[in-house]
Chain A
Amino acid sequence: MKFSEIDASLLSTIANITEVPSGAVNIRKDGQPLIRMSSPNITINPKQDKPGIDVIVKPGTKGESVHIPVIVTKAGLQDLVYNTFEIGEDADVTIIAGCGIHNDSHQNSGHDGIHEFIIKPGARVRYVEKHYGAGSGSGKRVLNPTTIVRMGRGSYAEMELVQIRGVDDTYRKTMGYMEDKAYLKIVERLLTHNEQKAQSEIEINIEGQDASAQILSRSVAQDSSYQVFKAAMIGKAACTGHVECDSIIMGNAIIKAIPSLVAENSEAVLTHEAAIGKIAGEQLIKLMSLGLTETEAINTIIEGFLR
């Protein structure tokens, strides 16, 4: 199958794919399935009661990946989708998601993705979700992802949540519930520019003994953009949790970073770090002394920071 130029550009940016990937895949375009394929170990079924899919990974599945990108190219479309992922015991898989909106009109386009992960005991998941907006229209590109992660005993999840650029408005909500010895790492990287607004709320409930969670947020706010980052780590057992938010602020942007720790057990060890600052002058000078222009130096620093 050959993608149109716009589709190919969006898919390449959000999911790094230039052709239909092998294995299980579900590409959704403008509210409709464009491609849907299951694999012997990973089944993708449409939901019967609402838009969306159920992705079922058989227990013990190792080294397979699932691609489920969404693209919106139709002006004025407000897409809503509910996806559920059930990762069987001792499986080890990678899920590549993401949403790209191309909007050349004056009407707003949007996608709300509600994802629920049920990670069975001993399973391991790496989840990558990239958001991107393109197009020359004055209509907004709006993305509101909700992610709920339920982790069984001894399971492992690493989630990379990225907003590349071009998203005018986003409200991101991520919640985690962890049983004994589960490990969850959430890495969120956000770039906002112009008049864009981004609000991200992450709440991790560590309910099991010896479970461990990390929330690492890096963001860059340029121009007159506005960001709010709220991260709550709630320790309900003997566990460890760490929240780190690090932001670069530029121009007339505003950033609010609100890390919060709640210990409901005396054996919970929770920590946080938060820093907001502009690009250091000495970093710019250093890169300029290697031959970069000031603009190239700024872009290099931002690219590295959000990598």
Chain B
Amino acid sequence: MLRLEQVSMSVNQNNGDNKEILHNIDLEFDAGKLYAITGPNGGGKTSLAKVIMGIYGLSSGRIYLNDEDITDLTVTERARKGIAYAFQQPPRFKGLTVSDLLKIADSELDIIGLRKSLRDVGLCPEDYLDRDVGPGLSGGEMKRIEISQVLARRATVSIFDEPEAGVDLWTIQRLIGIIVNRYKDNPKNTAIIITHNENVLPICDEIIVLEEGRIRSRGTYEEIWPLIRDEIECKRRLECRGEMGYEIQ
């Protein structure tokens, strides 16, 4: 469905040098499967998502969607081809309402669809549909509204960038349930979840650990969890002592 071949991405640093963020990534995402991408902070997870969405350009490599080369397509063109991305930190808009954004996400949404989109992410439609996606919303509310837009798009490939961040525990479970129902074993779609949440990992068919812009390991939960569990425990202990820790969770 979605294939990355030898994808590399670099950025210009302040001193003029190029820093490579992603190094020769080969990945394939199949329909009907859920994927988790995890790894330490700064490992390249969000960069990879933005490369797939077309927000960041490649320094080398190709990206294919259903065997069509989409490497040179713009963000808009990729969105129209069926790629959707829920931002880690969605931007706020003065004057645009939740309803406006949902209708942009899916112009065919009627009032019933709009209401359902919000209920799916645990928000009361009456309270949110007409609200500005502006400073009056909390981070958790913004996150849920962001996810509702990606769900509304019914995209072929949906990428959720830390959907759990800032969201309460009750809603995380609900979101996990919706993503599983929507994407798991669905022969037309796939979802990629960038996550630091160990409760999300078991629901995924494959886990990819990204570190320093390279794939450190990939496999099923049963295969990967033993490899990263100790690091997570180590991080917890460091956090308990108030020290900065290694950031795999």
Q: Which residues of A contact B (CB under 8 A)?
A: 218, 246, 280, 282-283, 285-294, 300-301, 303-307
- Please name all residues of chain A whose beta carbon is closer than 8 Å to the beta carbon of B53 when the two chains form the complex: 289
22 residue pairs from A and B, CB less than 8 Å apart: A282-B91, A285-B55, A285-B75, A288-B74, A288-B75, A288-B76, A289-B53, A289-B55, A289-B87, A290-B101, A290-B104, A290-B105, A291-B76, A291-B80, A291-B105, A292-B76, A294-B76, A300-B96, A300-B100, A301-B93, A304-B94, A307-B95
Tell me the dominant secondary structure on chain A's binding face. Answer: helix
The interface residues of chain B lying within 8 Å CB-to-CB of A303 are 95
Of all A-B residue pairs in the complex, the 8 with the closest CB atoms, nearest first, are A304-B95, A304-B96, A288-B75, A291-B79, A282-B91, A305-B95, A288-B76, A307-B95
User: Distance in Å from the Cβ of A289 to the closest Cβ of chain B?
Assistant: 5
Closest to A189 in B: B95
Is B3 in the interface zone, CB < 8 Å from A? Answer: no
Question: Is residue B45 contacting chain A, with contact meaning CB distance below 8 A?
Answer: no
Whether the Cβ atoms of B94 and A286 lie closer than 8 Å is no
Contacts of A292 in B (CB 8 A): 76, 104
- Contact-size category for B: 20 to 34
Kindly list chain B residues whose C-beta atoms are within 8 Å of the C-beta of A293. Answer: 76
- Most chain A beta-carbon neighbours within 10 Å: one of B76, B101, B105: B76
Give the one of A289, A305, A307 with max B CB within 10 A. A289
Q: Is B153 an interface residue (CB 8 A)?
A: yes
Nearest chain A CB to B82's CB is how many angstroms away? 10
Q: How far is the CA of A263 from the CA of B143 in the complex (A)?
A: 42
B55, B75, B149 — most chain A CB neighbours (10 Å): B75
Q: Note all chain B residues with C-beta closer than 8 A to A285.
A: 55, 75
Contacts of B93 in A (CB 8 A): 283, 301, 304-305
Contact count A vs B, C-beta below 8 Å: 59
B90 touches A288 (CB 8 A): no
B76-107 CB mask vs A (1 if < 8 Å, else 0) is 10011000110100110111110011001100
Q: How close is B92's CB to chain A, nearest CB, in angstroms?
A: 8
Cα distance A223–B119 when bound, in Å? Answer: 42
Partner of A289, one of B85, B95, B97, B100: B85
Kindly list chain B residues whose C-beta atoms are within 8 Å of the C-beta of A287: 104
Given the complex of chains A and B, what is the CA–CA distance between A246 and B94 in angstroms?
Answer: 10
Q: Which of B79, B94, B149 contacts A305 (CB 8 A)?
A: B94
Least CB distance, A305 to chain B, in whole angstroms: 5
Known: A291-B105, A292-B104, A305-B95. 9 other contacts (CB 8 A): A246-B94, A289-B84, A289-B85, A289-B87, A292-B76, A293-B76, A301-B96, A304-B95, A306-B95
Most central of A283, A287, A300 by chain B CB within 10 Å: A287
Question: Nearest-CB distance from A268 to chain B (Å)?
Answer: 26
What is the minimal beta-carbon distance from B65 to any residue of chain A, in angstroms? 15
| Shortest beta-carbon distance from B129 to chain A in Å | 15
The digit string for B143-159, where 1 denotes a CB below 8 A from any CB of A, is 00000010001000000
